[in-house]
Amino acid sequence: MKGNKLLCAGVMLALAPAAFAEEAETGRALYEANCASCHQFDGGGVPMMQPELILSPRANGDIGGVIDMILLGSAAVEPGMSDYSNEMPPFDYLTDEDIALIASYVRTNFENAGGAVTAADVHERRKRAGLEGTAQPE
């Protein structure tokens, strides 16, 4: 029995990099479809219009910062605290999993090291914002 558990653990570890790569690729695709038109494909943003995501304090900060920006858009930023002219729309219609993949992509790319985000993290932030039930069904 012990040998079977070790074999199963070994198979799971072997599959983990492939699953991570697939999630990263899906996160990139979701970012490109929903975010890149404003924040650019390279995360460079547009001066005075949309913030760059490279070495972003929000992406490298508290996990809720990026989630709230995606869920609430510009409404996540206190009035008078932004130097950018364009408003970001809320993406609360995306599923928790989709938002987690986008947030993870932003937090682990563009020279950021904020770490991964889970669908459970997004669900909790959605509840705090009073947005339960706003995501499209999967």
Does 123 fall in a domain? yes
The answer, as to whether pTM is greater than 0.75, is: yes
Range(s) of the domain holding residue 112: 2-128
Give the pLDDT band (50/70/90) at residue 79: confident
- What mean pLDDT comes out for the span 57-76? 95
Does 116 fall in a domain? yes
For the chain, the residue count is 138
Q: How many Cα atoms within 13 Å fall on the side-chain side of residue 82?
A: 20
- The lowest-confidence range among 5-19, 92-106, 124-138 is 5-19
Q: How many Cα atoms within 13 Å fall on the side-chain side of residue 108?
A: 16
Structural domains in the chain (count): 1
What tokens appear for 135 in the block? Answer: 């995501």
Does 138 fall in a domain? no
CATH value at residue 124: 1.10.760.10
Greatest Cα pair distance, the chain, in angstroms, is 62
Q: Residue 50, SS3? A: strand
